[in-house]
Amino acid sequence: MGLIRDGRLVPDPFTDVSALEELPAGVALIVSFEQWQAHRDALLAGGQPLGLRLNSDQPPQLVATDLERLAVIALDFPRFRDGRAYTHARMLRERLGFTGEVRAVGDVLQEQLHFMQRCGFDTFEVQGPDPEQAWRTIAGDHTVWYQAANDARPRALDRRTSPDQ
């Protein structure tokens, strides 16, 4: 497994402690919503970059007022069939104006990476032995899109009326 950004494997500066008891100090952390609620002030005082891992039943509106303090929001796919995080990612970007990193974690399959990216995710915890290859495999799958999402890709109907797109 590895963290993919822009198609490349990148080191992860964060430690995801959302499933752990202890919150180590002096390290960039990704915590759960419950940990955030319990230790918010201490975490903010620690001066490290912070991130939140939200479950699929935790809409990002829950932390709307804290977003500017968070470097990364990790949205969990508990099972790849649970598609709520696609909406949560868009809401983070389009409704709440979040400009930090939106990370896809959990049951993230190669065949969903494109949709995730279109919805505003910019990093992905990709399973398997060769995450870069997984990304390369799907990267060329689509050159036509019917609808707009949280990306700059032109809709087919806009290209029809403005052929330069």
Partner 1 sequence: MYRYDEFDHTLVAERVATFRRQVRRRLSGELTEDQFKPLRLMNGLYLQLHAYMLRVNIPYGCLSSRQLRKLAFIARRYDRDFGHFTTRQNIQFNWIKLDETPDVLAALAEVEMNAMQSSGNCIRNITADQFAGRARNEIEDPRPWCELIRQWSILHPEFSYLPRKFKIAVSGSSNDRAAVKLHDIGLYLRRNADGVVGFEVIVGGGQGRLPYVGHTIREWLAKEDLLSYLEAVLRIYNLGGRRDNPQKARIKVQLNALGPDEFRRLVDEEWAAIRNSTLLAVPRAEIERITSYFADPAWETLVDSPATLADQRSADPAFDAWYRANVVPHRAPGYAIVNLSLKAPGIAPGDLTADQMDKVADLADRFSLGELRVSHRQNLVFPDVRQVDLALLWQELQSLSLATPNIGRLTDIIACPGLDFCSLANARAIPVAQDIGRHFAGSASLEDIGELSINISGCMNACGHHHVGNIGILGVEKNGQEFYQLTLGGSSGEDASLGDRLGRSISAAEVPIAIEAIVTQYKTLREADERFLDTYRRVGIDSFKDSVYGERPERRRAAA
Listed in sequence order, the DSSP H helices in 73-155 are 84-90, 113-118, 131-139
Residue selected from 34, 111, 130, 132 as contacting partner 1 according to rule CB under 8 A: 111
Stretch in the footprint of partner 1 (CB under 8 A) among 24-32, 36-44, 66-74, 145-153: 145-153
Region 90-109 residues binding partner 1, contact defined as CB under 8 A:
90, 95, 109
How long is the chain? 165
Residue selected from 6, 47, 81, 164 as contacting partner 1 according to rule CB under 8 A: 81
87 binds partner 1 (CB under 8 A): yes
146 binds partner 1 (CB under 8 A): yes
Q: Output the CA–CA distances (angstroms, integers) from residue 77 to 24, 52, 83, 85, 96, in the order listed.
A: 25, 14, 7, 7, 20
> Least CB distance from residue 109 to partner 1, whole Å?
6
Report how far residue 71's alpha carbon sits from residue 74's, in angstroms, rounded to the nearest whole number: 10
Report how far residue 20's alpha carbon sits from residue 75's, in angstroms, rounded to the nearest whole number: 17
42 binds partner 1 (CB under 8 A): no
